[in-house]
Amino acid sequence: MTSSSSRSEALLPGAVAVVAVAAAAAAVIFGQMMVALAVLGVALLAVGFATWNALRIAAGIDRSIGVARALAAGDFETRDLVFDQAGMIGRLSDAINDMADHIDAYVRESSAAMDAVRHNQYYRRILPHGMSGALLMASDTVNEATDTIQARIDAFNVSTSDFAETINSIVESLIDGSRDMGDAASRMETGAGATDERAASVGRTSETASSDVQAVADAAAALTSSAKGIGSEVDRSAVIARTAVARAEETGRIVSGLSQAAEKIGAVIDLIDQIAAQTNLLALNATIEAARAGEAGKGFAVVASEVKTLAEQTGRATGEISRHIGEVQAATKAAVDSILGIGGTIAEIDAITGAMRNSVEAQIAATNDIAQNVGNAFEGTRTVTGNIHGISEIARETATLASGILQRTRSISSEGDRLASTVKEFLVTLRRGPLDRRHGRAERVPTGQPIEVKCDAGTDKAFCVDVSLTGARINGTPNAAVGERIQISGEPGSYCPCVVKWVGEDEYGVEFVAAELSEKSIAKLRRLVGEAVDSAA
Amino acid sequence: MGATISPTDREVTFRPEEIIVSKTDLKGRITYANRTFSQVAGYTRDELMGKPHSIIRHPDMPRAVFKLLWDQLAEKKEVFAYVKNMTRTGDFYWVFAHVTPSYDAAREVVGYHSNRRVPDRRVIKEVMEPVYADLLRIEASHANAKDGMKASFARLMEIVKSKAASYDELIFAL
C-alpha cells in the first residue's frame, strides 16, 4: 500500500501534466484555443507542483541522508527536525527518526547496563520494551550475559564470604586459643612463682629438718657410745664376777683343804690321843712297876707320874684340839657354804650381767638402727632439699617459659588480627579489583616525588613520575626484571611492596601488591590520588 | 500554558512496542520529540520544540521526584522514574522514563535524552500512586515550597533506604 501510494504520489503530477498536454493538443486540433490554454494552464500547474514536490522530496531525502550519515558516524543526537511532512517524505522522516530512536535507545540501554556491570552493579538490565528483532535479541544476549556475570559474582561473593568467614573463625579460634593459652601461661607463671615460693619454704623447712635430724643423729651416736660404755662396764663387771666366782671356788677349795687338814690334824690328834692313852697306860704300868720296885722305883714312880700327868695333859690338849678342830671344821663348813652361797650369788650376778649384756647389746643394736635410720632420714632430707632446689629451678624455668608463651600468644593474637585484616583487605581488593584498576588508570596523578627503591641488589634513589591506586611510574632503570618484587618508599620507614610490570627507555612501571600494603600506605595513596571513598567497597 | 489545563481522570495509553522519545538541551527545553510523543501528548512536534519539558508535567507528580532526576543527571548518571504526565487536554498517561545525558564527540554533556516506555500497571497501582500521594501530601503540607520539597525528598530517600541499597536498585527491584 505504501509503495503504491508512494508511486501514485510520485506519478500523479506528471500524469496530470501529460493528460493536460494531450487535452491541450486535442483542443488545438479541434480549434478550441481557449480550452487548450486552460488545459495548458493546468499542465503548467501540474508541472510546477511536480517540481515543488521534487524539491521537497529532495530536501527530505537530504535531511534523511544527513541523519543516516550522522548515525553512521555514531552521532545519535541528530534527527530530522522537519516534522509532520505530508506524503512519503513525512513517512521517510518518521521512519529515519524512529530508526535513530531505536538504535539510540539500544545503545543507551546497553552501554548503561554494561556501565553498571563495570561498576559491579548487576541489577541494571536492558529494558526490552520498544525493542524488536536483532535489537531485542542483542538486548537479551547482553541481559543473559549480565545474569551470568551476576551469578558468577554472587558465587564468587559467596565463596569469598565463606572464605572470609572460615578465615575469621580460624583467626577467632586462633585468637581464642592463644588467649586461653595466654591465660594458661599466665596461670602457669603464677603457679610456677607459687611453686618456687613453696619450694623455697619447703627447702627452708627441710633444711631445718635436716639439722634436726643431724642433732638426732648426734644424740643417737652419743647414745650408742654411752651404750657401748655401759656394755664394756657390764663386761668388766662380768669379768669381775667371774673372777670373784673363781676366787670363791678357790677359797672354797682352800677352805675345804683346811677342813681336810683339820681332819688330818684330828687323825693326828687321835693318834696323839691314842699315844697319850698308851702313855698313860704305860705310866700306870710304870707306877705299878715302880711301886713294886719300892724306893728304887720311887724316882721312877715320880717320872711315871709325871709322864702320866703329861699323858693326861696331852689327852686334855688333844680333846681341846679336837674340839677346836670340830669348831674349825664347822666354821670351815660354814665358810664353804657361805662361799658356795657367794659363788651362787656371783653366778646369779653373772647371769644378770649376761642378760644385761644382751639388753645392752640390743640397745646398741637399736641405737645403731636409730643412728642408721636417722642417717637415712638425714640423707632423705638432704635429697629433699636438693630436689626442692631442683623444683625451684624448674619452677623458675617454667615461669620464664610461661612468660615466653605469654609473649608468643600475644604475638599470635596480633598476628591473627593482622591475618584477619590482610584477608579482609585482600577480599576487598579482590571484590573491587577491576574497579580500582580502572580508576587507577584513569586517575594517575603526577608526583615528581623523590623516592627510595629497595630491591635485592640494594637501595636506589629515584623519582616517582606518577602514581595511581594500583601502581606507579618511576624514572630510571630498575635493578630488577619484570615480574620481580621491589619495594618503594616515599617516606622513611614506610615501604610499599610492588612488582615490576614493565621497563621502558628511561622509566618503568610497578604494580602495588595490594594485599600487602599497610593501612598507612593505602591512606597515603588515596590521599595522593585524591580518591573519595569507593562506593564499591 | 500548562497552568490553564485542568487535569481530567481519563487515561491515555500507548503500545508496549512503542517508546516515547524526546531530547532536551541542558535547560530542559525540548529539542526533539518523536511521533509517539506527539500522538500521546496531543501536541504537534512544532509546538513542542523549544518548550520546557514541564509542558507535560502533571500536578499529581511530587516535585521531589524531579529534584532526584535533576540531581542524578547533574552527576552524569542515568535516571529511571515512573512519571504521570498530562496531555494537552488534561488527560493523563503513566510512563516508565529513562533519562540519560547526551554527549558530544568531546564527551561533554550537551543535553538529555528520555525514553519512555509503557510502565508495569502493578507497580503504578501498588507502589507509585500511594508513594507519590504521600510525597505530594508532604509537599502540600508546607507553606514554603522549598521546605515542602526538602521534607518530601527526605521521605523519598527514607523509603528508598528502607527497601534497597539505592534508588536505582529499588526501581529495578519493583
- To the question of pTM greater than 0.80 for the whole model, the response is no
Kindly list the residues from chain B whose CB atom is less than 8 angstroms away from the CB atom of residue A143. none
Nearest chain A residue to B100, by CA: A108
Residue A191: CB partners within 8 Å, gap ≥ 6? A398
Of A98, A108, A125, the CB nearest to B113: A108
Q: What is the pLDDT of residue B88?
A: 93
Distance from CA of A105 to the nearest CA of B (A): 7
The answer to whether B48 and B28 have CB atoms below 8 angstroms apart is: no
Q: Which of A226, A432, A105 is nearest to B78 (CA)?
A: A105
Distance from CA of A84 to the nearest CA of B (A): 8
Nearest chain B residue to A78, by CA: B32
Nearest chain A residue to B30, by CA: A81
Higher model confidence: residue A37 or residue A430? A37
CB contact under 8 A, B21 and A81: no
Q: Which of A466, A460, A473 is nearest to A502 (CA)?
A: A473
Phi, psi of A292 (to 5 degrees): -70, -35
The answer to whether A422 and A456 have CB atoms below 8 angstroms apart is: no
CA A209 from centre of chain: 39
Q: What is the pLDDT of residue B82?
A: 93
Of B21, B34, B100, the CB nearest to A112: B100
Distance from CA of A66 to the nearest CA of B (A): 16
CB contact under 8 A, A112 and B102: no
Tell me: pLDDT of B3 over 60. no
Q: How long, in residues, is chain A?
A: 537
3-state secondary structure of A291: helix
Q: What is the pLDDT of residue A3?
A: 63
Residue A198, number of CB atoms within 10 A of its CB = 14
Question: B62-85, pLDDT tens digit by residue?
Answer: 999 999 999 889 888 889 999 999
Q: What ipTM was estimated for this complex?
A: 0.89
Kindly list the residues from chain A whose CB atom is less than 8 angstroms away from the CB atom of residue B117. 127, 129-130
Of the candidate ranges A103-117, A344-358, B83-97, the one whose mean pLDDT is the lowest: A344-358
3-state secondary structure of A405: helix
Tell me: pLDDT of A167 over 90. no
| Ordered alpha helix ranges (H), A73-86 | none
Q: How long, in residues, is chain B?
A: 174
Q: What is the pLDDT of residue A535?
A: 38
Q: Which residues of A181-191 are buried (b: 16+ CB within 10 A; e: fewer)?
A: bbeebeebbee
How far apart (Å, rounded) are the C-alpha atoms in residues B136 and B155? 11
Q: What is the pLDDT of residue A439?
A: 43
Of B111, B118, B172, the CB nearest to A123: B172
A/B interface, count of CB pairs below 8 Å: 70
CB contact under 8 A, B104 and A132: no
Of A94, A105, A129, the CB nearest to B118: A129
Kindly list the residues from chain A whose CB atom is less than 8 angstroms away from the CB atom of residue B104. 77
Question: A209-268, pLDDT tens digit by residue?
Answer: 778 777 877 887 787 788 788 878 878 887 887 787 787 778 778 877 877 777 787 788
Chain B interface includes A532 (CB < 8 A): no
User: In Å, what is the CA distance from B15 to each residue of A168, A439, B10, B48, B147?
Assistant: 54, 42, 17, 22, 39
User: In Å, what is the CA distance from A507 to each residue of A298, A445, A475, A482?
Assistant: 195, 16, 4, 13
CB contact under 8 A, A129 and B23: no
CB contact under 8 A, A127 and B98: yes
Question: A477-510, pLDDT tens digit by residue?
Answer: 888 888 888 888 877 767 888 888 888 888 888 8
| Ordered alpha helix ranges (H), A459-530 | 519-529
Most confident of A162-166, A523-527, B14-18: B14-18
CB contact under 8 A, A129 and B17: yes
CB contact under 8 A, B172 and A81: no
Q: What is the pLDDT of residue A172?
A: 79
